[in-house]
Every structure is written in C-alpha cells, then in structure tokens.
C-alpha cells in the first residue's frame, strides 16, 4: 500500500478574481492582481513550485502520478484531479499553474486536470473575491 505525500500552499483572494480561464488556474506569490489575470485564484502565496517539499515534487514528476488538489476558502471548497509527468520542471519561484492541457513550462504543477478556473465551484470563487484565505492542499500518492 502506498502513502500520500502532502504539501500545503496558503494564499489569499482578491476582489479582481474572475476565475474564467478555460484551460488553467494559477496561484501566485505576487501581491497584486490586474483585471487581465482571469486564471488567477490566489495571490500572496506562501509557496511557488520551487518551494514545494522535494519528496512531493519528485513524485509529481513521474508519468504515472495522480495529484489531487483540495481548494478551500471560507465555507466553500472544490477538488481537482490531474496528472504528473516526468517532463515537468517544477521550477518556478513565483507561480503554481494547474493545466487541463498537456502544455508544460516552469510553472506547471500538473497536466490533464479535470477543472480549470472557470470550472471551479462559484461559491469558492465568491469567497476568494472577498479576499478570504485560500488553502491549496496538494496530495500525491506514492506507490
């Protein structure tokens, strides 16, 4: 039986959060948000990809890895399921991006996600628009 490796990223919402992007969602260490950031769901993040636990990162960087991400803000939550890949660089020191596609860059946490920003629970998005804290729990099964 495998174990579940977990890392947690804390961020906060912002009044300009739209969460309308069709293929991604993002959490950033940046402390600001512009109206163009329609994929961003959290700012002032406690971690970027390069800050994640090295064991979690090594398990994500496998072709057969499955990642579950729980998002919680206020009384609302959502769960996203995605895949890892050995092609992931996991090196961004500013961002974490979850993608529905297979596109990979230094900020990509996972690919083939079942949800993008626009698919997220609207109650969660409304809580984030109030500026509430976002808890992003990243779980990967180690087999």
For 48, the token pair is 């970027």
How does residue 1 score in pLDDT terms, banded at 50, 70 and 90?
low
Determine the pLDDT at residue 59.
Answer: 97
For 22, the token pair is 């069709």
- Structural domains of the chain ordered from first start: 3-142 (2.60.120.630)
Q: Which residues pair with residue 16 across a beta bridge? A: none
For 46, the token pair is 């406690």
For 82, the token pair is 């995605």
Tell me which residue of 63, 67, 47 sits closest to 139, measured CA to CA. Answer: 67
Q: pTM for this one?
A: 0.97
pLDDT digits (tens, 9 = 90+) for 38-95: 999 999 999 999 999 999 999 999 999 999 999 999 999 999 999 999 999 999 999 9
């Amino acid at each position: 039986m495998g174990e579940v490796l977990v890392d947690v990223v804390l961020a906060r919402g912002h009044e300009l959060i739209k969460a309308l992007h069709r293929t991604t969602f993002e959490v950033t260490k940046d402390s600001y948000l512009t109206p163009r950031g329609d994929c961003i769901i959290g700012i002032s993040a406690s971690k970027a990809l390069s800050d994640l636990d090295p064991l979690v990162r090594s398990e994500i960087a496998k072709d057969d890895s499955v990642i579950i991400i729980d998002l919680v803000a206020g009384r609302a939550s959502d769960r996203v399921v995605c895949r890892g890949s050995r092609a992931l660089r996991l090196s961004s020191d500013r961002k974490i991006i979850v993608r529905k596609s297979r596109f990979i860059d230094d900020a990509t946490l996972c690919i083939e996600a079942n949800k993008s920003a626009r698919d997220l629970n609207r109650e969660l998005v409304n809580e984030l628009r109030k500026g509430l804290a976002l808890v992003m729990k990243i779980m990967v099964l180690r087999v």
